[in-house]
Amino acid sequence: MFVPEPHCNAQVAHPALLLIMPPARGEGMEEWPWSGRHSQCIALMLACLAAGALTGCSKPAREDVAKNLQERLISAKSGDVVELPAGKFQFERPLSLTVSGVTLRGQGMNRTILSFAGQKTGAQGLLVKANDFVIEDLGIEDTAGDALTVQGGTNVTIRRVRTEWTRGPNENNGPYGIYPVECKNLLVEDSVARAAADAGIYVGQSENVVLRRNRAEFNVDGYEIENSENVDAYENVATHNTGGMGVFNLPNLPRQGGRRVRVFNNRIEDNNSPNFAPKSLGPIATLPSGTGMYVLAIRDVEIFKNAIRGNNTVNVYIMHYATAVDEEALQATQSSQLTQQIFAPQDKRFYPFVQDVWVHDNQISGGGQSPDLRMASVKALAGALHGKLRDVLYDGRVDASWGRMGANPGRICLQNNGAATFLNFDAAGGMKHPISDLGSYSCELAPLSPVVIPQLGAGRSSSAGGGQ
């Protein structure tokens, strides 16, 4: 910030606040305040006091920060840092930014809070359609819809952001906490998401993504990686959600063919909270409580060095699209526009099979001990297994067009996962020929390459190579 002469030994407490302090002894001042250039400071201070509300002379009231933030975002130029003071600021309407190259910065995710409680118009809290965007060190609370949406941005960084619905899990909460979609070169780090009615942290239809050191809790789904390519998700925590993390493709979205996703060094534990998603959000309302991680209709996924434990229905679920989004799920949510537009219609571009998944060197235990029996498919499977499921479930659906021989044409590989139990429950065959022996699935695939994005620095990629 530029501070004009005369120098007044000023401390900048806020961009609009100049606090004039006397110089300390020994700074060449014989008597304060009646000498030299500092007498000019007194004149400046008195002028500010006389002017009262002149910009730059007084700290703006809290309501002024809320009132003026949208104007600041509209008038911002590339390279600007829009900095907010500590405090809780109330908004009745959504905020938006369309200028590239802007940083929005608070004083900490629990110190600078943008509250949308009682929001009167709009759905999002903050909607960003811009490149080279950074948001850091603030919280977004109680939005009517999604808390933070970033759409179509390149080189986007979301750092130390908290999204939360403070009343806790509730079907009237917004669907998504952190919601970047159609982005390229995306970094989401050190952030927290709580009580979203769909996913706490979502990444959709995006490319070159790093999710690291985040925490998702008390959401329906902790993390969703949807229709995205080249993703590294590591050192995250998912706990006390309905489901911990989903890696999947869906039909009827502009971008198809998500693949090459690495999930490593995460803790996905005790995701046993009740599902509170309304049916209007589609089949997410049928996600079984106690789902640790699910891998759906995607290929080239590597899952390693994670702790996946204590998820009561299943720790890891690997499946074809029709197993997850079956007729029961479609019927249960048939009134939902999302079901009608995304999940139910046929899409010739969409490939529903799962293949080339390598799950290795994880700590997997304690799954399937008390499965959620709301859904008939889970209830039937649990009934066939005397009430308990397995740590790792695979539906066994394969595509004859692969032309692969042998017992594992889908190349689902499981290695070194402790004492994790396993079952291929033969969904296509009506569960008539289940396989619990890991022999045919004790294989390995080529490790996926680390993701490289500019935010990690020149020539740097995200950590931990696979295949170790």
Beta pairing, strands 314-319 & 392-394: parallel
H-run or E-run covering 86:
none
Is 307 inside any structural domain? yes
Structural domain containing residue 389: 195-441
Nearest 5°: the CA angle 298, 301, 304 is: 150
> Using DSSP, how many helices (H) and how many strands (E) does the chain show?
6, 32
Q: Show the 3-state SS of 172-199.
A: CCCCEEEEEECCEEEEEECCEEECCCCE
Identify whether residues 52 and 199 lie together within a single domain. no
User: How do residues 207-233 score in pLDDT, each as one tens digit?
Assistant: 999 999 999 999 999 999 999 999 999
pLDDT along the chain (468 residues), means of 10: 36 34 37 41 44 41 83 98 97 97 98 96 95 98 98 98 98 98 98 98 98 98 98 98 98 97 98 98 97 98 98 98 95 96 96 98 98 92 93 97 93 97 95 94 98 85 64
pLDDT of residue 467: 61
Is 318 inside any structural domain? yes
Is 182 inside any structural domain? no
The DSSP call for residue 331 is H
pLDDT of residue 61: 60
Is 142 inside any structural domain? no
Is 213 inside any structural domain? yes
With CA atoms as reference, report the closest residue to 139 among 179, 184, 109: 109
The model's pTM is: 0.86
Beta pairing, strands 148-151 & 243-248: unpaired
Domain boundary among 19, 37, 59: 59
Domain boundary among 41, 59, 77: 59
Is 106 inside any structural domain? no
Instruction: Say if residue 63 is exposed, middle or buried (CB neighbours under 10 Å; 0-12, 13-18, 19+).
Output: exposed
Is 406 inside any structural domain? yes
pLDDT of residue 177: 98
User: How many domains are there within the chain?
Assistant: 2
Cα atoms in the Cβ-side hemisphere of radius 13 Å centred on 279: 10
Integer Cα distance of 63 and 86 in angstroms:
13
Q: Is the distance from CB of 363 to CB of 267 less than 8 angstroms?
A: no
pLDDT of residue 1: 37
pLDDT of residue 458: 64
Contacts of 209 (CB under 8 A, 6+ apart): 183, 186, 187, 188, 203, 225, 228, 230, 231, 232, 451, 453
Is 354 inside any structural domain? yes
Retrieve residue 372's tokens: 């959620």
Domain boundary among 14, 31, 59: 59
User: How do residues 250-260 score in pLDDT, each as one tens digit?
Assistant: 999 999 999 99
